[in-house]
Chains A and B, each alone.
Chain A
Amino acid sequence: MKKRYLIPIVYILFLMLPIYWLVAMSFKTTGEILAGFSLFPQTFTLENYKVIFTDPTWYWGYINSIFYVAINTVISVIVALPAAYAFSRYKFLGDKQLFFWLLTNRMAPAAVFALPFFQLYSAIGLFDTHLAVALAHCLFNIPLAVWILEGFMGGVPKELDETAFVDGYSFPRFFATIFLPTISSGVGVAAFFCFMFSWVELLLAKTLTAVAAKPIAATMTKTASSAGYELGLLAAAGALTIIPGAIVIYFVRNYIAKGFALGRV
């Protein structure tokens, strides 16, 4: 084995340590955690996980989160597709300015928007719905999706479009049956990044929900303060939030690195 591989190995170990600790904590009883330090769970328990899977306020948190993340990913990718096509194929009035303006929306601190978002979505009657969170997350996910998809589409030669039109394909049919399959990996990467940023964001999701659409992260925050700091339960809930991301990342592992490389600034 080459010596330089030590660098990624040490780095991955460093990444895994806090995650190991979270998982180890989740298998300990509260008594054991408070009693003192132990590297491995001494009294291995599944009690913490049992609480989460049997208490609706807990497991509904996960369902709510997955629900709005899915809606957001679908909306973001669907509206970003034609826009990215326009940016990669046509010149039109204000195209460069529009592209830069879209990107600036990633620069506004979410903290800035929290209160106005609450008022806006209350005013249109969407407060505490999954749709509200999904729409709000479009603010930073749509620009990202357009950016990534534009990069992938730019790699497809224009001749493909022209040949199809000469062959008598209508635009929608060409787009759905020829173009979309060609850039399918781009769609996968864009969907992955939308999933990722919607899944990890909490400030807006928490601001826009109360009961019916409350995300898992908010349930955790409330439990941390109200139930007198049950570390084991908190650790179990945290450990479970890693799983959806891990599954998604496994499926797109060969495209993650490519996703940004093909995009342009």
Chain B
Amino acid sequence: MKTENQKAWFFVLPVLLLVAFNALIPMMTVVNYSVQETFGDNLFFWQGLDWFQQILNSERFHNALGRQFLFTGLILIIEVPLGIAIALAMPRKGFWVPVCLVTMALPMLIPWNVVGAMWNIFTLPDIGLLGYFMNHTLGIDYNMTQDPFAAWVTIIVMDVWHWTSLVVLLSYAGLVSIPDAFYQAAEVDGASRWSVFRYIQLPKMKQVLTIAILLRFMDSFNIYTEPFTLTGGGPGNSTTLLSIDLVKIALGQFDLGPAAAMSLIYFAITLLVSWLFYTLMNRDVQK
């Protein structure tokens, strides 16, 4: 049991101060911008909730939000089952375990703009490995700077390449924590491969999978650098995800008010979905 001790606040204080400094002050700045209009020269006019209404009713925002949900949904549908499958197939002990772990974790440690640049070089139609293979060996017309569908496939495959390992590592951590006795008992009972997965492995992975899905949701929903480096949001607006659109409005057009309002709506959506998912998973755990 934990003991009640209000002095514990002193232990938390440095963390609180540092994070609050980085979170609250910029957040207040954003809130400030979101209710004002500026024409430069530090002149601000009260605008009320106009920007929020404007953003919520704008087709541009709806489209970017739709693309964002499509992207996040697709990568979750691909990465989570794929990650589990790979973790299940991995060896449990021996020389190959660290080899697998190190090579699989490698993509996650590459700076995000390098990931984008790497995939750009990889997919160039005539001189990239993938681009050349698609166009000249398979004879499929593949050019992601012109074809929106190709651009979408490329950013999805890039994200699968970049982040599936996170799901693998977490699922694997859950799997190795299952004692051998569980499997032996299942064998004695004559359990099928599927029931072993459904009743032994999946429940053990549930906690880590919750973390994996939550992290993947938050990070993919906020993704900016990789798709921006790879496609720049194009061709046209086809891969302009929420963050890319936000930066276009804030730094490209310097519309600070609408950009700030959009940031807050964006943050609220992320928070809401994460909270819903978190509560849903936890309710199931307690049952």
Contact = CB atoms under 8 A, between A and B. Distances in A.
B119 A261 contact: no
Contacts, number: 272
Contacts of B224: 109-111, 203
Contacts of A37: 126-127, 132, 136
A7 B104 contact: no
**A91, A106, A112, A235 pick with most chain B CB within 10 angstroms:** A112
Q: Binding site of B, secondary structure by majority: helix, strand, loop or mixed?
A: helix
A80 B210 CA distance: 23
A6 B126 CA distance: 31
A249 B170 contact: no
Interface string B198-210: 0000000001101
Interface in B103-119: 103-114, 117-119
B136 A220 contact: no
B57 interface: no
A79 B214 CA distance: 25
A111 B119 contact: no
Interface residues of A, number: 96
B117 A238 contact: yes
Interface in B1-56: 2-6, 8-9, 11-12, 14-16, 18-19, 21-23, 25-27, 29-30
A142 B22 CA distance: 11
Interface stretch (B59-67, B84-92, B143-151): B84-92
Given A37-B127, A79-B14, A17 B122 contact: yes
Given A199-B109, A261-B174, A250 B102 contact: yes
Given A16-B103, A18-B130, 9 more contacts: A15-B161, A80-B15, A86-B12, A108-B27, A109-B242, A200-B109, A202-B113, A245-B110, A254-B98
- Please name the 7 residue pairs, one residue from A and one from B, whose CB atoms are nearest each other, closest first: A245-B109, A261-B173, A116-B26, A86-B11, A109-B222, A90-B8, A116-B29
